[in-house]
């Protein structure tokens, strides 16, 4: 009978233990996240729970969102995005002018701003930072290369020179107009760091960051927490409100939710859509939804049989019921996608008629393409939750079923995440689930990056090629006039819609959970939030 | 079961006035008296019937997604509720019985066949052969079995069939050792000696005399091993290494629904219950068989 008891125990373990799969690894020694009862002037400590630790706190050198979440609060950029959009507004620069030929930008800097180490912020500091980046290499400053086309001496490098006109005026000369220049300048990687600290710290700067931001770096225990304290001399009058912010890494989504419910943390991102209801039903908690600046899609590798046939790709597009997907696996917090970029992005073509969910139409198209009896293909599903697709496996199962309705037999496959990306990038998948979160809110950052033939082998995983589209996208890159540029992008989206290299699925609004005491928090579409205006009551 | 003649020889010294039963019938008599064992057999038969008649009794298919009816609580139309795809959980559990029994039965059949063969060879020939085979068993038993199974599936690639192969492999040493020890004692029996003395070939002695007399413990071990195999298959599927979507394997159903454990507990409760019941059934049956077949346990 011993065996029976053991087996029973094992079943219990299976059904309960693994299912709950929780338990936070350690308790924060900082005694909960509750604020003092200080009334309106309440400062307090906000504990932000997230899925992973930062890589480095030198924003110029990293690419991961978990690093930017922290550096955004330690550093400022010359320009910043709006609280919940990507319109540029003043930050360290109070004013900026563009020459008529679009090749000279002059920034007027904010006076009286000091870095956390007490040194002055001025034009020389800005020049120092840009010189540092443009003399670097791809390994050190990936985003600089990807946004400004290379480094000093490179053919594609956009910035000719950065010079200090006087203490508080900086002039950028470009080799050719770059339409999204201001949006690029506002990106987290291009935050201005203290030149003095950069000199002193050298390689260690990433562990001892010094900026001008609302919070001052205090300490970092790897894979556990990062502590930031209030910058008492922040240039924005009366801000920040919080006394300190602690970023804690709790990898498992359910464990993080448990920590939130237990009061160990005050705010968490990566809330499972299936848990949204539970948080909303809890009077002590509230949910936030990040405005959508992403797209989740099914890529149809367009150089593989039979997906190289446009009609087949269109047929598959007709076979997907996006709204049902959203209701089921996004807790309704997403909108169906018809274009490769979300509607908040300038240049979005709302005239496009989406491929409606119509199985008869899909079958007709398959018949026309000569695949009346359907075909077999692989359908890859990502193994990890992503902001644009919290549960790829489930989405894949729904798609598998939808495709089966029109005779397409899809086999779901999955690999470990890094392998998945590598194999998909190599064009080894027939169809694959993937997505993209915008970096700077510009159309170029979606259409060119994801679908231009230049980026095959990089971010264009579908191997989709179209010369006409390529010409449009390249032209748009150096067209400073907003209206004209948007027209080019509208046209580009029509071509993409017709060729259907993807099934655009959703633009999701990733969910966050927080204590109901949090006020003034608005999640930013880029995924990293400035906590300057947040209070705990 | 055609080869039961040798056992008759063992039992000839029964008292003449008592009705002489064949050993199998005698075992059955003992088995019937064991209430728990009968319950176990009932459960097992129940699941076997479910598996056989799944197509007839199940209200729906395994993958009839109705996203509009997802996560519905148990009701008259869906006795066990619906899962996150709006699929009828009862139907999936009924079809799941097929998968679990299939994996359990064939995995055990495979490991019993290979394990018994190796065990007989090791036990019968002894010496170097025995040392090599037994040390291999020791090495295999030194690994936690589920870890070994994961390793095997990692090599073969995740699928239900490969999970079955993995489970068969990891259970080989259990049968091997059992049969080896049994053979060691059987080969000392007079009838084996006699067979050898008259010049019978080794293969005939092994398959006609040694094997039939080692059958009872293999059957007991096999029944118990089915329970373990079903659990292991569920565990592998839970980890994504066994059944693949949309197969309604119970362990996979648990894994797929675990994020709904608070919101929709029935999505994990029923698959868990199904696993528990089958495992319990096979264990009770196995225990009962042991009691009935083990000569030492006889009154």
Residues 6+ positions from A37 with CB-CB distance below 8 Å: none
Q: What number is the ipTM of this complex?
A: 0.79
The length of chain B in residues reads 299
**Residue B140 is encoded by which pair of tokens?**
């295999």
Quick check: bond before A129 cis, omega within 30? no
- The number of residues in chain A equals 537
pLDDT of residue A290: 92
> A5, A19, A420: which to substitute to probe chain B, counting the most B Cβ within 10 Å?
A19
Distance CA A531, CA B54 (A): 57
Q: Which chain B residues in 176-235 lie under 8 Å from chain A, judged by CB atoms? A: 224, 227-228, 231, 234-235
Expressed in angstroms, the distance from the first to the final Cα of chain A is 57
Residue B213 three-state SS: helix
Minimum-distance CB partner of B245 among A327, A328, A400 = A400
Residue B208 pLDDT exceeds 60: yes
The two three-digit tokens of residue A227, written as one number: 């502590």
d(CA B278, CA B266): 18
Per the CB < 8 A criterion, the answer to whether A210 and A193 are in contact is yes
Q: Which residues contact B111 (CB under 8 A, 6 or more apart)?
A: B167, B168, B169, B170, B171, B172, B174, B175, B225
Residues A46 and A246: their CA atoms lie apart, in Å, by 6
Instruction: Give yes or no for residue A5 having a pLDDT over 80.
Output: no
How far apart, in whole angstroms, are the C-alpha atoms of residue A120 and residue A196? 10
Residue of B nearest to A412 (CA): B245
Structure tokens given for B260: 């709904």
Is the pLDDT at A457 greater than 90? The verdict is no
For residue A473, with 0-12 CB atoms within 10 Å meaning exposed, 13-18 middle and 19 or more buried, which class applies?
buried
How many CB atoms are closer than 10 A to CB B227?
A: 26
Rounded CA separation A487/A464 (Å)? 22
The answer to whether A527 touches A84, Cβ cutoff 8 Å, is no
A66: confidence class by pLDDT, cuts 50, 70, 90:
confident
The Cα B295–Cα A376 span in angstroms is: 57
* Percent of chain B surpassing pLDDT 70: 92
Lookup result for tokens 């990692």? B154
B220-276 tens-digit pLDDT: 999 999 999 999 999 999 998 999 888 999 999 999 998 888 889 999 999 999 999
* Residue A518 CB-density burial (10 A; 0-12 exposed, 13-18 middle, 19+ buried): buried
pLDDT recorded at residue A4: 52
Q: What is the predicted pLDDT for the residue at B13?
A: 53
- Average pLDDT on A63-75 reads 90
Instruction: Give the pLDDT of residue A30.
Output: 42
Give the DSSP H or E segment for A513. Answer: strand A511-515
Separation of alpha carbons B280 and A49, rounded Å: 42
- Looking at A23-37, A259-273, A500-514, which range is the least confident one? A23-37
Please report which confidence band the pLDDT of residue A6 belongs to, taking 50, 70 and 90 as the band edges: low
Cβ contact A7–B283 (<8 Å): yes
| Interface contacts A/B by beta carbons within 8 Å | 93
Cβ–Cβ under 8 Å, residues A374 and B219: no
Q: What is the mean pLDDT of residues A295-315?
A: 94
Tracing tokens 């346990």 back to the chain, one arrives at B297
> Is the dihedral angle over the CA atoms A394, A397, A402, A403 positive or is it negative?
positive
| Chain B residues close to A19, C-beta within 8 Å | 254, 258, 261, 268
Mean pLDDT of A269-288: 91
Q: Is the pLDDT of residue B128 over 80?
A: yes
> What pLDDT is recorded for position A33?
39
DSSP code string of A75-87: --BSEEE-SSS--
pLDDT average, residue stretch A390-415: 93
B-chain residues near A20 (CB < 8 A): 258, 261
Angle between helices B89-125 and B266-293 (to 10 degrees): 30
Q: Is the pLDDT of residue A360 over 50?
A: yes
Whether the pLDDT of residue A154 is over 70: the answer is yes
Tell me whether residues A11 and B231 touch, CB distance under 8 A. Answer: yes
Say if residue A358's pLDDT is above 90: yes
**pLDDT score for A40:** 46
Question: pLDDT tens-digit profile of B140-159?
Answer: 999 888 999 999 999 998 89
Token pair, residue A76, equals 């400022």
**Residues B59-113: pLDDT tens digits?**
998 999 998 888 999 999 999 999 999 999 999 999 999 999 999 999 999 999 9
- The enclosing H or E element of B57 equals helix B54-57
Higher pLDDT, B295 or A313: A313
Looking at residue B213, its pLDDT comes to 85
Total H helices, total E strands in chain B = 13, 0
pLDDT level of residue B28 (50, 70, 90 thresholds): confident
Q: CA-nearest residue of chain B to A395? A: B85
Q: What is the mean pLDDT of chain A?
A: 88
Q: Is B69 on the interface with A (CB under 8 A)?
A: no
């Amino acid at each position: 009978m011993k065996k029976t008891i053991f087996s029973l125990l094992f079943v219990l373990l299976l059904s309960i233990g693994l299912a709950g799969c929780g338990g936070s690894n350690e308790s924060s020694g900082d005694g909960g996240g509750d604020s003092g009862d200080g009334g309106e002037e309440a400062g307090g400590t906000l504990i932000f729970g997230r899925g992973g630790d930062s890589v480095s706190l030198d924003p110029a050198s990293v690419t991961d969102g978990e690093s930017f979440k922290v550096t955004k609060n330690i550093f400022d950029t010359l320009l910043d995005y709006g609280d919940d959009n990507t319109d540029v507004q003043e930050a360290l620069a109070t004013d900026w002018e563009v020459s008529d030929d679009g090749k000279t930008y002059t920034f007027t800097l904010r006076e009286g701003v000091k870095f956390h180490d007490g040194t002055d912020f001025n034009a020389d500091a800005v020049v120092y930072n840009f010189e540092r980046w443009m003399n670097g290499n791809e390994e050190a400053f990936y985003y600089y290369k990807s946004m400004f086309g290379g480094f000093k001496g490179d053919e594609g490098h956009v910035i000719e020179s950065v010079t200090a006109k006087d203490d508080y005026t900086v002039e950028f000369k470009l080799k050719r107009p770059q339409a999204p220049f201001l949006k690029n300048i506002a990106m987290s990687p291009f935050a201005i760091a203290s030149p003095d600290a950069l000199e002193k710290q050298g390689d260690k700067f990433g562990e001892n960051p010094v900026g001008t931001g609302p919070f001052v770096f205090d300490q970092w225990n790897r894979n556990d927490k990062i502590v930031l304290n209030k910058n008492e001399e922040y240039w924005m009058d009366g801000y920040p409100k919080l006394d300190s912010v602690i970023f804690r890494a709790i990898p498992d989504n359910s464990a993080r939710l448990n920590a939130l419910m237990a009061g160990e943390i005050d705010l968490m991102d990566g809330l499972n859509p299936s848990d949204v209801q539970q948080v909303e039903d809890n009077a002590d908690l509230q949910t936030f939804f990040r405005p959508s600046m992403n797209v989740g899609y099914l890529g149809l590798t367009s150089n593989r049989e039979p997906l190289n046939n446009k009609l087949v790709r269109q047929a598959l597009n007709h076979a997907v019921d996006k709204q049902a997907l959203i209701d089921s696996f996004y807790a309704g917090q997403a909108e169906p996608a018809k274009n490769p970029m979300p509607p908040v992005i300038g240049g979005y073509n709302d005239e496009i008629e989406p491929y409606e969910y119509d199985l008869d139409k899909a079958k007709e198209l398959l018949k026309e393409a000569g695949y009346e009896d359907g075909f077999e293909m692989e359908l890859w599903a990502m193994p990890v939750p992503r902001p644009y697709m919290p549960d790829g496996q489930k989405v894949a199962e729904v798609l598998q079923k939808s495709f089966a309705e029109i005779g397409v037999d899809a086999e779901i496959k999955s690999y470990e995440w890094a392998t998945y990306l590598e194999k998909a990038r190599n064009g080894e998948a027939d169809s694959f689930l993937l997505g993209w979160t915008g970096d700077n809110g510009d159309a170029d950052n979606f259409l060119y990056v994801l679908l231009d033939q230049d980026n095959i082998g990089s971010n264009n995983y579908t191997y989709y090629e179209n010369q006409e589209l390529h010409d449009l996208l390249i032209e748009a890159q150096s067209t400073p006039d907003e209206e004209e540029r948007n027209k080019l992008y509208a046209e580009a989206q029509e071509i993409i819609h017709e060729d259907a290299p993807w099934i655009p699925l959703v633009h999701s609004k990733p969910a966050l959970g927080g204590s109901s005491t949090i006020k003034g928090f608005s999640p930013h579409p880029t995924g990293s939030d400035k906590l300057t205006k947040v209070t705990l009551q | 079961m055609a080869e039961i003649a040798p056992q008759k020889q063992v039992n000839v010294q029964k008292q003449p006035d008592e009705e002489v039963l064949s050993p199998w019938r005698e075992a059955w008599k003992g088995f019937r008296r064991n209430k728990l064992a009968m319950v176990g057999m009932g459960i097992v038969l129940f699941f076997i019937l479910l598996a056989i008649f799944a197509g007839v009794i199940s209200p729906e298919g395994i993958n009839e997604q109705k996203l509009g009816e997802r996560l519905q609580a148990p009701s008259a139309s869906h006795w066990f509720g619906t899962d996150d795809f709006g699929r009828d959980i009862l139907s999936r559990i009924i079809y799941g019985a097929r998968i679990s029994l299939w994996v359990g039965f064939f995995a055990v059949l495979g490991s019993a066949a290979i394990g018994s063969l190796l065990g007989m060879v090791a036990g019968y020939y002894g010496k170097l052969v025995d040392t090599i085979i037994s040390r291999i068993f020791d090495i295999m038993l030194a690994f936690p079995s589920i870890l070994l199974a994961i390793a095997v599936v990692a090599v073969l690639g995740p699928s239900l069939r490969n999970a079955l192969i993995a489970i068969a492999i990891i259970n080989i040493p259990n049968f091997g050792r059992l049969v080896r020890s049994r053979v060691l004692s059987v080969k000392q029996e007079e009838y084996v000696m006699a067979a050898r003395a008259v010049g019978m070939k080794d293969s005939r002695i092994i398959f006609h005399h040694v094997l039939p007399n080692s059958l009872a413990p293999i059957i007991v071990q096999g029944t118990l091993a089915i329970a373990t195999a079903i659990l292991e298959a569920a565990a592998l599927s839970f980890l994504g290494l066994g059944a693949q979507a949309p197969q309604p394997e119970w362990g996979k159903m648990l894994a797929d629904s675990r994020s709904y454990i608070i919101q929709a507990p029935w999505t994990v409760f029923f698959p868990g219950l199904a696993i528990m019941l089958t495992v319990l059934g096979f264990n009770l049956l196995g225990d009962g068989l042991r009691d009935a077949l083990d000569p030492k346990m006889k009154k």
